[in-house]
Amino acid sequence: MIRQLECPICHKPVLAPAEKTPTCFPFCSERCRQVDLLRWSKGKYAIVEPLRPEHLENDENQSPNDE
């Protein structure tokens, strides 16, 4: 029986890790694993802002109406 797992961060379906395959399990990717670590490192498992892929792709803040 195969259980469908999902990433705790982005809730994408995650395949169970194969024994010889490096994986970020239970996260779908290294990126999500880092997000999780980052959350904990801030002391509180609470982020007000929802996780957005573009937010992770670009470190720069691109606010259209910043000034």
In angstroms, rounded to a whole number, what is the distance separating the alpha carbons of residues 51 and 34? 12
CB of 60 to Zn ion, least distance (A): 22
Residue closer to Zn ion, measured from CB, 5 or 10: 10
The one-letter amino acid at 39 = R
Rg (CA), the chain: 15
Q: Does 35 bind Zn ion (CB under 5 A)?
A: no
Report how many residues bind Zn ion under the rule CB under 5 A.
5
Q: Does 7 bind Zn ion (CB under 5 A)?
A: yes
Prior bond of 17 cis (ω within 30°): no
Q: Considering only residues 10, 34, 60, 64, which one is a binding residue for Zn ion as defined by CB under 5 A?
A: 10
